[in-house]
């Protein structure tokens, strides 16, 4: 609804002019209903807004990782409970406690690695939608067109995501897997 209306003026001062003096003169002429800011102020405001979006993204990612750790631990606990008979049979056939521990931790590690690979791919898709939403919100807030030209999604990014997922799976599965080693053969 701003077609044909002016809501912003960009002013370039002459050489040698003191920008702060020019800004204060313009402020005095316009009155209190208008704001006079240097371009750096808009840039700082956009940077702060970007940092808050980035903080929210990291916060929710960390929260999702913590929830994932609890889900993995719960899944391995259920697996141990349901396979108690098989664990006893393996122990009776000579499988060591370390072997049982390795079995469950390796299984969780494999599932966590596969899940992390799938999650990285899905995360890339979600990121594309999120970038569009964030740039649109920032454009609305700053009244300037904000565009993201690309999303950084490298092999190193995927490798880091898979490593974090695998480590989280290992850590989450260790306690329930250790409890599996306490199952007696009889």
Does the structure show a pLDDT above 90 at 128? no
Does the structure show a pLDDT above 90 at 134? no
What lies within 8 Å, CB to CB, of 171 at 6+ separation is 69
Does the structure show a pLDDT above 70 at 142? no
The H or E element spanning position 24 is: helix 19-30
Q: How far apart are CA 119 and CA 163, in angstroms?
A: 12
First to last CA, the chain: 78
What lies within 8 Å, CB to CB, of 100 at 6+ separation is 87, 90, 91, 177, 180, 181, 183
* pTM, entire model: 0.68
Does the structure show a pLDDT above 70 at 79? yes
Question: What pLDDT sits at residue 1?
Answer: 64
Does the structure show a pLDDT above 90 at 149? no
Asked whether the CA dihedral 24, 29, 32, 34 is positive or negative, the reply is negative
Q: How far apart are CA 37 and CA 5, in angstroms?
A: 20
Query: 3-state DSSP call for residue 122?
Result: helix
Share of the chain above pLDDT 70, in %: 94
Mean pLDDT of the chain: 86
Q: Residue 137's pLDDT band (boundaries 50, 70, 90)? A: confident
Question: What pLDDT sits at residue 42?
Answer: 64
């Amino acid at each position: 609804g701003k077609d044909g209306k002016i809501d912003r003026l960009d002013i370039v001062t002459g050489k040698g002019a003191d920008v702060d003096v020019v800004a204060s003169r313009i402020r005095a002429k316009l009155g209190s209903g208008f704001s006079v800011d240097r371009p750096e102020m808009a840039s700082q405001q956009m940077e702060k807004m970007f940092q808050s979006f980035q903080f929210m993204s990291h916060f929710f990612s960390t929260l999702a990782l913590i929830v994932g750790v609890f889900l993995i631990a719960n899944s391995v606990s259920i697996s141990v409970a349901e396979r108690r008979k098989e664990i006893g049979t393996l122990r009776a056939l000579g499988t060591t406690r370390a072997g049982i521990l390795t079995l469950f931790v390796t299984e969780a590690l494999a599932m966590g690695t596969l899940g992390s690979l799938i999650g990285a791919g899905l995360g890339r898709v979600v990121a594309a939608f999120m970038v569009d939403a964030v740039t649109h919100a920032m454009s609305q807030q700053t009244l300037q067109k904000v565009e993201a030209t690309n999303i950084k999604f490298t092999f190193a990014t995927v490798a880091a995501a898979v490593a974090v997922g695998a480590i989280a799976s290992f850590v989450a599965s260790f306690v329930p897997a250790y409890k599996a080693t306490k199952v007696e053969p009889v």
